[in-house]
Amino acid sequence: MTVTTAVDDYVGQFQDEGFLVVRGLFGAAEIEDVRAEFMALHAGGPIPGHFEPRSRQDEGPADPLHSFPRVMHPHRINELALRYLLEPRLRGILENLLGEEALAAQSMFYFKPPGARGQALHQDNFYLRVEPGTCVAAWIACDEIDRDNGGLEVVPGTHRMDLFCPEEADPELSFVREYVPPPPGLKTVPVDMSPGDVLFFNGSLVHGSQPNRTADRFRRSFICHYVGRSAERIGHWYRPLSMNGDRVPLAESEGAGPCGTEFDAAGPH
């Protein structure tokens, strides 16, 4: 993959392929701060509605995601998460990609510890239900990310397609139920990343990840979703903000939900 820096080049790549990697947008010290903040949040225990680790006494091996579930909407409870959601470096790129003012709709943090399942191929706007248009994700790598520890895979070209009706995923490989197979003639492309790299991608782009098959490597990532100012509706789960932090109410769209319907309904991934 060729990394581009000129605005016309990266906007063109995003339009053609549905995704763009900007290498080294954040420095090593910044990413270390993000990792430290979320590891401290984990050590501090549950935050109802946002981060709810749990222990299981079931027979068989423990699920790593019970101890390290994802953090949902951390920007609502954490100053550092809010600062990165509204980061001017992201804003500049997003507004070029969107062609208009960006609104911040969601944040998440994934720990994805060793042994964790992945997330089957899916489309983000299946959950956000942005209308008209779609969302754009900014996926910030907080570790060295590759095939072994469950890096992302994307299906270029699907960003030009409508939302698909998902099939049921393999629960041995995915913590969520929805699975969108690559359409005929298209295939997955792996996206390896280093800490501080940011993957931007269209909300209709089919993407997902395999399990973390390592014994000692996390695959941590801070993920934000944005919409254009012209959006009129979004799912009630999301509460868009301007990039200055002001609330921007939008009408509620139908059929929306959190990013991924989990096989284990006891709590978040």
Distance CA 90, CA 205 (A): 19
User: What confidence category does residue 6 fall into, taking pLDDT thresholds of 50, 70 and 90?
Assistant: low
Distance CA 104, CA 91 (A): 9
Question: What percent of the chain has pLDDT above 70?
Answer: 93
Q: List, in sequence order, every residue forming a beta bridge with 136; answer none if it has no partner.
A: 202, 226
Question: What pLDDT, in 10s, does the model give residues 35-69?
Answer: 999 999 999 989 999 999 976 555 446 899 999 99
Distance CA 233, CA 38 (A): 31
The CATH class of the 7-44+64-252 domain is mainly beta
> What amino acid is encoded at 114 in this protein?
P
User: What confidence category does residue 267 fall into, taking pLDDT thresholds of 50, 70 and 90?
Assistant: very low
Mean pLDDT over residues 172-189, rounded? 97
Distance CA 50, CA 63 (A): 19
Is residue 3 scored above 70 in pLDDT?
A: no
Question: What pLDDT, in 10s, does the model give residues 126-168?
Answer: 999 999 999 999 999 999 999 999 999 999 999 999 999 999 9
Quick one: which of 39, 63, 172 has its CA closest to 111? 39
Distance CA 153, CA 111 (A): 17
Task: For residue 160, give the DSSP letter.
Answer: G
